[in-house]
Structure 1
Amino acid sequence: MRFQTSLALAFSTILAATTFAQPVDEAAKLVTATAAPARFADHKPKFSFATETIDFKAGDKKSIDFIMIKDGDKYVAALHPGMNQLDMITFNPTKTVEKPPFKDYYAWGTLLGVRITTAAWYPEMWASGKVSRDITVGDNGATLRLKTTQTWTGERNGDSTFDMTLRCDPVLGYVWDITTDLAIDKPFTNPKGEFLTPEFFNWQVRVTKMGRRNNQPWPESWDHERTVFHRSDDKLVGFFMNPEANDRGPFKRTDVKEGGYVAKLPGPEGWGVALAHLEKGASAARNNTCNMWADSHNYLKLPKSPDADGKYRIAGKWRFQALPPETVKFNLDNAQWDRMGVK
C-alpha cells in the first residue's frame, strides 16, 4: 500500500542519518518522518489566565464569563466553563491575537478556532454532576495545567477527570498533553443490554468548507474541508466533509488504531489539527464525525468487568495538536479518500 511504503521509505532515510528515540504514536512518527522544521524553537511561552466577561449583541446569553488564556499579552484560547469546552484561537505562537475574534453571539457556528470538550459526555451525566476546575501555571509560565473533575452520586455513582497541560513544542507550536479517566458503578446500556460508550472528546474546527453548502456567513473561516484518521487496520483513510459523507459513508464510527490519530485538514497556510490517541488500555477507541457540524466524537469502550471496587474504569492518554504543512501534505497525498460524489 502506498501509505505504508512511503512511510517506510521516509523512516529508513531518517534512521540512516540520525539516531533518536522513535516516537510511539503515529502522529509523532509522521511529523518526524516528514521532516517538519522546528519553526518555534526560539519561542519561550509565558502563559497566564484570567476570567473576562464578554458582551454579545445576540444569542441566548448577552454576557458570558470566559476563562481567557494568554501567552504574554496576547490571547491563545478561551474556556467556556458552563459548556466545559476550550476554544483554541490558534496553535501557532506567531498568530496569537490582541483581541479575541468573537462574533455577535457565541455558538458552534461562531467558534474562535478549534473547540474541544474538557469533560466526558455520557448519557444523562453531561454537566449533571458536581464539577470542579483547577488551573495552575507552572515552570515560570512555560506550562499551564487545566484539571476538570466531575463526580456523580445517586442512582449512578462515579467520577471523571480530565488533566490537560498546555506547552509549546518547537515543531508543533501549542500542544495539549492530556490524560483522562472515568469510573462508574452502573454503565448505561442499550436495548440489547450492551454498555453505552462514553465520549471523551468532542472537537470541531471553526467553520469547514462545508459551510459553503450551509450558507455560513463568514467565508474567511472556510477551511479544514477533510477528515483523516489512522484506522485500526493500519490504513490512513478520510473523506471530504459534507452532509452525505461524514457519518453515513463507509467510515461510520470507525475504530482508531491505538497510537493513531484523527485530523482535520488542510487549514490556513497548509496547517492541520489532530487529536492523537496515545494510549487507551485494552479498550478500543472509535471516531464518529457528525454530518451536521463536522465535529469528531472520540470514544473509549468500557471494560466488560468492574474493578475490585465495583466500578467500570477506563483511562486514556491523548495529545491535541497542530499538524505542520509537511505532515498535512503527506496525509493528502497518501490517504485513501472517499469523496462520496463531492469533488
Structure 2
Amino acid sequence: MALFVVVTTWLLHGILLQNLARDFLGERLQREADHAVTQLEQGEAAVPAALDSVSQGYQVFHHLYVLRFNGSVSASDPQWQQQLASLLDESGDALIDVNRGEQHMLVYRRHFEWQGTQGVLLVGEDFSQVEAGLATLHWWVGGIASALLGMLIILNMLAVNRGLKPLWQLRQQLEALRAGKRDRLSLIAPSELDELVDQLNWFMDDIDLRLKRSRESVANLSHALKTPLAAVTQVLRGNRPIDETRRHKLLSRIEDINAQLDAELRRSRIAGPNAGRMANVTRDSSRLIEMFRSLYPERIFNLAHSAGEKDQVPIEAHDFSEILGIVLDNAGKWANRCVNCDIAA
C-alpha cells in the first residue's frame, strides 16, 4: 500500500511539475509578446529592427520570434518560419505546443494592430531543455523517495520485530507453563502488556485456588463419609438381624450421606462457571435464582435489584455466587413458601 501511494505521488509530481513549468513559461512568453507589441505600437523601433535585435538573443536564450505584418513574414530563425507559418493563419491568442523531431517548442500567438494594419506575432521558447531539467529533477525526487521508502520499511520491520519480541517471550513462557517448567509469568514487556501479564497470572492463581479448594472439599467429603459408610458396611456384614431400631439408624446414616453429597453438588454448581475480578450482579443473581427455582420447585424465588447503574461489584464472580448461593440454599430449605432476595450494590 505504501509503495502504491509513493509511486502514485511520484507520477502526479511529474505531471504537476510539467504543467507548472508550462504555465510559467507560457505566462512569461505572453508578457514578452505584450511588451514587443507595445514597443511596435509606440513606434520606438521598426519591425525589422526589432526582429534583428532579438535574433542574437535567440541563440543565447532560445527565444524565437515570427512576425507577419503588412503582408510580409519575418522570423528570427528562418528554419522555424515554414514550420510555424500555419499558426499565423489561426485566430485568437493562445499558447501552442510545437514539436519538430525531438525538439519541443512552446509558442505564444499574439494578434495586434499597428498603424491601421493587422499583425500576428509568435513568441516561442525551446521547452526541450526545460523538460530535460524537469525529468532529471523528477528522477532525483523518485530516487530520494525510493531511498526514504526503503529506510522506512527497514525501520518499520525493526520496530515491529522489537515490538513483537515480548510476545514471542510470552509464547515461550506459556509453553514452559504448559510443560510444568514454571508456575507464573515473569515478562519484561512494554506497559501495554502489563495488564495482560497480570490477568494471566491472576487466572493461573485463580485456577490454583479453585483446584486447592476442590481438593480440600473432596478430602473433607471423604473424611465425613468414611465413618458413616464404615458403620453401615459393618452392620450389613454382621450376622445380627436388622431390627426396626437398627434399620432406622441405618436409614438415618444413609440420609446424612445423601444430604452431604447434595450439599457438595450444590456448592460445585454454584461456584463453577464464572471467574473474574468483577461480578455482574444482575447476571449472576438471575442465574442463581433460576438454578434454585429448579432445585426447590415448591418455593417461590423473587429477585429485586436496586443497584441502579452500578451493576459491577469488585468481588470475584465465583465468590459472589458462592456467598449468595449459600444464603439462597438455606432460604430454600427453611422458607415456608416465598423467598425474596433484594440486592443493593
Q: Check whether TM > 0.5.
A: no
More relative contact order, 1 or 2 (CA 8 Å, 6+ apart)? 1
More helix by share: 2
TM-score by length of 2: 0.17
